[in-house]
Amino acid sequence: MNDANPLDDPGADPFEIARAAAADIARLTGVEHHDIALTLGSGWGRAADLVGETTATVPATEVTGFSRPALEGHPGTLRSILTPSGTRVLVIGARTHFYEGHGVRRVVHSVRTAAATGATIMVLTNGAGGVRRTFSPGQPVLISDHINLTAASPLEGATFVDLTDLYSARLRALARTVEPALDEGVYCQFRGPHYETPAEVRMAGIIGGDIVGMSTALEAIAAREAGMEVLGFSLITNLAAGIQETPLSHEEVLEAGQAAGPVISQLLARVVAAI
């Protein structure tokens, strides 16, 4: 496999590369058009199997512009799934994080590719820390809005995009028809990969944040730029630094994701079925 990524050429057009990626997906899956795209973050991985029948699985490395996975043992894949009602879902199991340091173009490439396959709804999921003490590990929360603390944007040049109602009120209401008890909160994207300090978590709470994590906000902006409707879910894997008394660890995050996996995967599949 070649490490060169066409997105790293500053002169390249990222939208053209996304169209090339969508053409790869069409060729490799035999599916010309997808309706919904789903990015599966920590804990949400099993949802794909419940959404419908997987008709094709493609290693992300065979699709133009996708990066080699950051975490060892994570062969990122893209899956085409047919739901019982005939909706085509593109499941993105290959996320590039901003903290990897490859630039925002690579972070949002999967979203731009999803849009280029025809998807008009982008469902973004993640594992995150809870700032609000009323949240508990294992709890899924709807993202109602975000605060982007990365100091970066996927938009280039004088591209002014309205982010009012970025996390679609319509889709949040629809999710609540499936699970009326779903709480919601404002997601703060930090750069990472270090977890936040307790002072940063306090700041996040003071400025209006309820959840802290290292993904999603930049992807949501790119989805809106592409004209997609966005639905966001966080799995609270831990209470954020200083809110919980014990130190944070990646193992704890993974374990919480494992434990909550079956319940949140079912929730997500039911929400996708309701869309």
Q: How many residues bind ligand HPA (CB under 6 A)?
A: 13
Q: What is d(CA 103, CA 97) in angstroms, rounded to the nearest whole number?
A: 9
Segment contacting ligand HPA by CB under 6 A, of 84-92, 114-122, 207-215, 265-273: 207-215
Residue nearest to ligand HPA (CB): 129
CA distance 74 to 132: 31
Residue 34 CA to residue 121 CA, distance in Å, equals 10
Which part of the chain contacts ligand HPA (CB under 6 A), choosing from 81-89, 122-130, 178-186, 264-272?
A: 122-130
The single-letter code of the amino acid at 8 is: D
* Residue 48 binds ligand HPA (CB under 6 A): no
Q: Which helix (H) or strand (E) holds 203?
A: helix 198-206
Strand partners, 88: 82
For residue 122, list its beta bridge partners: 37, 230
Distance, CA of 84 to chain centre:
24
Q: Which two tokens stand for residue 85?
A: 């009602």
User: Of 78, 231, 253, 272, which one interacts with ligand HPA (CB under 6 A)?
Assistant: 253
Q: How far apart are CA 18 and CA 108, in angstroms?
A: 10
With respect to ligand HPA, which residue has the nearer C-beta, 129 or 154? 129
The residue type of 257 is G
> Taking contact as CB under 6 A, which single stretch among the options 104-112, 220-228, 237-245, 261-269 is the one that binds ligand HPA?
237-245
Burial class (CB in 10 A: 0-12, 13-18, 19+), 160: exposed
Rule CB under 6 A: choose which of 213, 233, 268, 272 binds ligand HPA: 213
Smallest distance, ligand HPA to C-beta of residue 252, A: 8
Among 248, 260, 268, 275, the residue binding ligand HPA under the rule CB under 6 A is: 248
Which residue is catalytic, options 156, 179, 196, 255? 196
Stretch that binds ligand HPA, among 99-107, 111-119, 124-132, 169-177 (CB under 6 A): 124-132
Cβ proximity of 216 and 124 under 8 Å? yes
139 binds ligand HPA (CB under 6 A): no
d(CA 217, CA 224): 11
Tell me: does residue 129 bind ligand HPA (CB under 6 A): yes
**Shortest approach of ligand HPA to residue 201 CB, angstroms?**
8
Residues that bind ligand HPA in the complex, under the rule CB under 6 A: 127-129, 195-196, 212-214, 237-238, 240, 248, 253
Tell me the catalytic residues: 196
